Chains A and B, each alone.
Chain A
Amino acid sequence: MDLLHNLYLGFSILLDNPLAIMYAIVGVLAGVIIGALPGLGPSMGIAVLLPLTYGMQPVTGIIMLAGVYYGAMYGGSISAVLINTPGDSAAVMTTLDGYPLAVQGQAGKALGIAAYASVIGGTVCVVVFMLVAPIIANFAVAFGPAEYFSLMILGLTSIAGMTGKSPVKGFLSAFLGLFVATIGLDLVTGGQRYTLGAIQLFEGIDFIPVAMGLFGIAEIITVKNASSDINVDQSSIKIKNLFPNKQEWKYCAPHIFRGTILGFIIGLLPGAGATIAAFLSYDLAKRTSKRSDLFGKGAIEGVAAPECANNAASMGAMVPMFTLGIPGSGATAVMMGALMMFGLTPGPAFFRNNADFAWGLIASMYVGNVCLLILGILGLPIFIKVLKVKAPILNAVVMGFILIGSYSLNNSLFNVGLTIFFGALGYVMKKLEIPAAPMVLAIVLGAMTEKSLRQAMMLADGNIGTMLGKPIVIVVLLLALGLAFGTPIINAIKRARKSSSAKKADRQSDVARA
């Protein structure tokens, strides 16, 4: 009852303030555009639009910024599907199946399911956020360095699911990624590692230029090489066809359900965030799907799973931000800066002290997600027009966007060079059929694995037993072991049974013959 009353309060604040609804729409729209541009992610979008909110009421301002956040989460999938370049880091996994779908003339369907999955992920999590935010916030801080280490190990096992045809090539890619993750200053000693004295490398290699190079540039070069145009099936652009059919819903629904829960939980953990949520959700979908062999070749659930997870994670990340003052991602960190600017300090007493504000925001999240759905679906015919542009022109424009995007990351030409370098590397890898996704995942997870391992070892006085002896660590590591070795072991047992039963049968037939 209390909850409904609060929600009523929230909606009445919104209705009293029609401008706020307008700004929610403006925020979502800006977010979708920013998300779709390669290199510009939600945190940059929020930072750039922050000055616009200076003159606004706090509620209105934060509603707009939240709109940018979830708009960008969906926007990233647009460029991922249409031009095989993740618009932001959380959309890396969306390229794996989204782009093949586009190549097959199913771009509309892929973007449609991405929009639905995003909105479902977002809306479900608003409800969860509303119900349990203050209670589960404490769960997030139960994760210390040792627990993060085990979580990262779990994440790394998902590489096994991305290796494609050849596990050796997959692991080659992953180890290359782990190597790239070691570049930079050592967190503990401050010593330089593989930096060649270049200060640009001191903070390590950001994985956004890597992803843009490996996916975007490499794709442009290969497409030119193969001179293959994407066929656009005009009929697929009709609104009716943007709704996935019954069969497709059947494929996607369980993955959206699981991806949303997984995404929310990962989002809760500070430092894990939407990108890792999307990785893990894709992996989970691939493992649990009945048609896992179709993944990477255009499985529609391969788009749905990461998309719902990254929107769910963006909601999850708001829980520790509002209730503990711990931002779980770059975007929430900037949002927290905005809150403090408005004189509102997030923390345990936030919901109590700023009830109007908090419930107004929650109500706006419902509105924002509806806006996202409407914009996503109505905008689709426009987005898809991109594919009608002739390949040479489109490629040149995309290349321009990628290079500008990589410059704007740090306002540095160094990143542009880095993007081109990884583009060239990506081309070679494509020709050698080495998958790129394991490398990107290894770069994201590698640095965090090392950081958390070293912190955990320091906290455990160098005693690995103490470090691994924590309950959460044990559970997560067992899960990782199970995922890594479960399938081969089960297969081996099955094979052994088969062969033994086959032998039995042989023997029986031998006996019969004798």
Chain B
Amino acid sequence: MAPALQTIEETFHAALDCDPDQLNAFLDTRCGGDKALRTKVEALLASHRKAETSVEISISAVAANIIGNRQPDSLIGETIGHYRILKRIGAGGMGEVYLASDINAGRTAALKVLPAHLGSNMERLRRFEQEARAVAGLNHPNIMTIYEVGTDDSRRYIASELIEGETLHERLARGGVEIREAIEIAIQVASALAAAHSAGVVHRDIKPQNIMLRPDGYVKVLDFGIAKLAEREVLPSVPENEALKLVETNAGSILGTVSYMSLEQARGAHVDKRTDIWSLGVVLYEMITGRAPFPGDIPGEVMSSIVEKEPLPLGRYLERVPPELEQIVTKALQKNPQERFQSANELLAALKHLLHKLELAAELDQSSARDSSARWIQSPIAAGVAVLAIALAALFPFYWLRKPRTAAIPEKSVAVLPFENLSDDKTNSYFADGMQDEILSDLAKVGELKVVSRTSVMQYKSGAARNLREIAHQLGVAHVVEGSVERSGTHVHINAQLIDARSDHRVWGQTYDRELSDIFAIQSEIAKSIADQLQAKLSPDEKKAIERPPTSDVTAFDLYTRAKNIQLATTIRSTEKTDLLNVVDLLNQAVARDAAFFDAYCQLAYAHDILYFSGYDHTPARLALAEAAVHTAFRLRPEAGEAHLARARNLY
């Protein structure tokens, strides 16, 4: 027998109130053996979740339009200005968008034809043109380029570059984005906003429909300043509650959805650049949770939610939200503009900081606990990154978030401390660092070993009297490796020893007196001996990886080591552009000497990436350089983790 509507309804509401974790248990208890009831309620809950994410109710708009009985007229085939209209590619509150061919310039363009009423206010139009030019002048990679604003036969149009890809709105409709991708999109949008704001242009209508995602990873923000054309003047004498009503009933300013309106927009009050910060906050919230921070079924409800309610924390929707992300969203969505980020640059800096932190945390997770999988990333690419970061942890061992070490110290754990430089020429110190780095990297390739990353051992500089027991305790390892390097001419003298820090007992030690060209063989020998002493079994692949020399050219290795040292000497956050350019220069020299220097290409890709994503050089040219380095690395070792990682990084 079918369950009664009332029973279904009561169960449905109780389930809505129920903690998501407890839902299954709740339904088990509540429905008992009543399969029909459970199926029905679960279907309703699924529908509820689906319904919740859609704010717009298109049907009522359809109704209004039907009784408006409009003539659908099409411009296809017509020529407007020097543009021939080829195809309709979209429509929004701000008018129709067509694919057009520019007869003069012989290129294709996107042509937006403004609705009659938007083109009628000459003063506003003039201001809009001014702003459009100001924004176009910025030539910012994240801002859609406007070719011209023109008039033809009283029709106003805006010609702009044609952007391939999909809108963020379409992307979100296909499914959620990962936290990291969301942050990267937000970074690019914030970067566009920062540039536009500096030119005195406020967007006023930041929403997923105005954010284009190109297949190459570029994000483009559309329609700067157009929203202003459609805005109604709000008289200062109108009291606030009236103003709210005014906006609510003003079909023109409620273009499409109201969900992204800032509080001051919802109130019809004066807006400045901080309105864009709010709207980007809403977009970020939606990207992460798949939901609107200020929900409502109709515009009026959304607006009262914007005015009155605080959004639920991100943590309510998904697990393990980085606290800093929560803080960023909260700060962007402060009702008082004074309490928000005061500039897009400020928001941009916070987002970048967070992104770097997450990257580092992911790498760290791998270097300090290689058996655990990545926690906050779940996309296939990110998962690939996580797995492949194992080898990379030794290459780029930035260390940021140290987790408290409470667990027992594993026996097969080791920290390779900086090697002492005993050369007469003290400028050779990087050579000692390179030695340490390679041994550490080799050991990190051994699955059974826990190896502390290089950044975290950096602080224990050689030379000073080191308390090994104390150091090992701090790093959470049982063993440490110490050593010294003396380089004179074409000879090297290398000493290395493995010490059980718990007892200060020297487990193993060896001195090598060899030709400089032998150093890579020596590094491998040391690594293998240590692994052997710690009874870590090497798989054939691991053995092969350790024995493979990083390069055949000692000078190239010098250059590479110096580049790495520069990058390592500072945290990413404080890396200066000149430092990064220096790094790039050294690595270019290295790969010029040895075109098969895989690690150098990986490092090079990484340096280009940081230059690009940190905004130091956010240009297609920089991205292309990164891509080229990744490509070469990948070609050199298609199977290698580092190349995959660098590639994955680049694909973001």
- Do these two chains really belong together in a complex? no
Binding site for A on B (CB under 8 A): none
